[in-house]
Amino acid sequence: MNDTIAAALLGLVEGITEFLPVSSTGHLIVTADLLGFRNSGGTFEIVIQLGAVLAVIVYYWRDLVGQARALPTSVDARRLWLGVALAFVPAAVLGFLFSDLITRYLFSPVTVAISLILGGIALWVIEGRPVAATTQGLTQVSQRQALVVGCAQCLALVPGVSRSASSIIGGLLTGLDRPTATAFSFYLSIPTLGLATLYALVKGREVLGAAQLGPLAVGLAVSFVTALLAVGWLLRYVSRHNFRAFAVYRVLAGLAILGWALWR
């Protein structure tokens, strides 16, 4: 398949799945394998997430600008961004230390399949035992809650676990209501995915040659547009539903991927 078309399809997959609790990285690994898109050693699949980061920035642009202006005088704004910084640190440290090992040994359809299945079961069980929400609103997230979310996000270093699922569920378990946990996960994606992308670009600059710059641009553009649509949809969805439908999807998708990977 033409690399540009493959990149567009990967961008579509990234944009749709990045903020859903189904693992965008896992879906990208499987999709790239199906398309025979193996030219970047996993770097392309990480860099393309920049489109989703830009979508979050655009979606929350007014809030972000308002908070930036309020930082010098607003206790609430400083509390929010200190929480985001604290939540970012655990995954950043582990990712920096083990990114090479993770990319080399875990970026495979079998790993994705197992993670999807186990994560789906965990998501179903956790949703069946909801914790009472004690925190409503991003500016009310405590440093302890933020750190719990950050530690939960570390699970997503394993492809197929899902950064969105781990961080949102971590927020729910520590007492955030569902809209707050979801919005905090979106905010946390800005430094997490943004810096992960920059790190992957630096490390993979020799792998991503000039021939891939065009497909990469296409993938980024498609992921940006689809992620921008997905952010708004998910915020509306979580205000009325739990994540059990995604849990079922994860298990079914994991079984299908596992069967395909073992029998192809």
The string of pLDDT tens digits covering residues 151-163 is 999 999 999 999 9
77: containing domain:
3-263
Closest CA to 35 of 71, 8, 70: 8
Q: What is the pLDDT of residues 28-69, one digit of tens each?
A: 889 888 888 765 556 677 778 889 899 999 999 999 999 889
Mean pLDDT computed over 95-100 = 87
For the chain, the average pLDDT equals 88
Q: What is the pLDDT of residues 1-19, one digit of tens each?
A: 677 888 899 999 999 999 8
Q: Alpha-carbon distance 217 to 239, whole Å?
A: 34
Q: Provide the number of structural domains found in the chain.
A: 1
pTM for this structure?
0.88
Instruction: Assess whether pLDDT exceeds 90 at residue 255.
Output: yes
Please name every residue paired with 176 in a beta bridge, in sequence order, or none if there are none: 135
Mean pLDDT computed over 213-231 = 89
